Structure 1
Amino acid sequence: MQPVKEISKAKMQRMLWMLGIFKIPLLAFCRPKLVSISEKEVTIGIHLRRRTRNHLGSMYFGALSVGADVSGGILAFYFAERYGLKISFAFKSFEAQFHKRAETDVTFHCTEGDKIKDLVMKAKDLGERQNEKVEIFAKDKSGTIVASFLLELSVKVK
């Protein structure tokens, strides 16, 4: 299936901002930034600042969860936009492993674009909700993995 249109990084960043303003205020509060996006992978950044810092001076669990959520979800939006589909998605399960305190800005990497694309297309073809687990890694400024996440993405094409 040929893509209907190319989707720019700027458009996806705008969609992320609007989602935070109108639907999920916690996104707007944490201010995740879209660093890069392609069919294969996405990188999201969250700055360590007063809003995202815990009492130990590292990134708060909730802010790390927001980054993982956005990293998996934005790719589902990306493919829906690219192929002109209306989707409904949610996360069915969430597993996290915290390897080290995140004491700097954090980037979240999801390299499972192919898996998410297949999930969206399968949901479209079958007409029912489909589920798939996706892996996300959080890295600090030095490139050290500070956390890893396994989220079960559930997608339905409307």
Structure 2
Amino acid sequence: MKLFNLFSETTKYTLFLRLFTLLKVPSLFYVRPSVHQLDERTCTIKIPFKRRNKNHMNSMFVGVLASGADCTGVLAAMHKTQMKGVKVGFALKSMQVDFIKRAEGDTYFTCVQGLDIAQYVKEAMITGERLNRPIKVIATCPDSTGDEPVAAFTLMLSLKSMTKK
């Protein structure tokens, strides 16, 4: 365990994410997401611009973009449930997306609704009912477009307490 403590927080989160995706979502493991930032407010995932993630137009494949947004939203929710030590089942119920530009570089998916998600988790624990809440994820390619978004996602996060009453 001492060796594990030598890693930075983002490296630990990336190792967790990679293990989780390898065991539970192998297609997501294949695109090699890594955690760039994960704290109480922000979750940012990076997906590299490699051959496996490109389409025939030399931009990121739409399925990879959707996977990155899904991964970001779910990881933000997982982080909140682990911080609180509660069991909440969550899934993405729907997704709306606006593709603004071609993603032609390493792509960062950012959700800044960490505090809102923490509140959603709290509401799900109190009510015991399934709640559906929208969360936003913005994709950017800093190397090619700077801070300008290449895609904007709205994910419907569905939460339900898994604690027996």
Relative to the length of structure 2, the TM-score reads 0.88
| Equivalent position amino acid for 2:55 in 1 | N
SS at match of 1:51: helix
State the percentage of identical aligned residues: 36
1:17-69 Cα shifts (integer Å, max 9, x gaps): 12211110111101111001111111110011111000000000011001100
- Alpha-carbon deviation of 1:15? 2.5
Is 1:51 aligned to 2:55, yes or no?
no
Instruction: Please name the residue that 1:122 is paired with.
Output: 123
Q: CA deviation at 1:156?
A: 1.3
1:15 corresponding residue in structure 2 = 16
Give the match for residue 135 of structure 1.
Answer: 136
In 1, distance between residues paired with 2:83 and 2:90? 16
- Greater helix share, 1 or 2? 2
Partner of 2:65: 64
- Residue 111 of structure 1 pairs with residue 112 of structure 2: yes
Q: Which moved more, 1:134-143 or 1:57-66?
A: 134-143
Residue 92 (structure 1) aligned with residue 90 (structure 2): no
Q: Tell me the equivalent position of 1:39.
A: 40
Choose which of 156, 160, 164 in structure 2 pairs with 1:156. Answer: 160
In 2: Cα distance, 1:39 partner to 1:132 partner: 18
Higher Cα Rg, which structure: 2
Question: Unpaired segments of 5 or more residues in structure 1?
Answer: 1-7
Distance in structure 1 (CA, Å) of the matches to 2:88 and 2:12: 17
| Farther off after superposition, 10-19 or 125-134 | 10-19
Residues 133 and 150, structure 1, Cα contact 8 Å, conserved in 2:
yes
Computed over aligned residues only, the root mean square deviation of the Cα atoms, in angstroms, reads 1.1
TM-score computed with the length of structure 1 as normaliser: 0.91
Gap runs ≥5 in structure 2: 1-8
Paired residue secondary structure (2:105): coil
- Correspondence for 1:79: 80
Alpha-carbon separation, structure 2, partners of 1:96 and 1:123: 26
Instruction: Return the alpha-carbon distance in structure 2 between the equivalents of residues 99 and 33 of structure 1.
Output: 23
Question: Which deviations, in whole Å up to 9, do the C-alpha atoms of 1:68-102 show, x marking residues without a partner?
Answer: 00111111100111111122111111001000001
Q: How many residues align?
A: 151
Range that drifts further, 80-89 or 94-103: 80-89
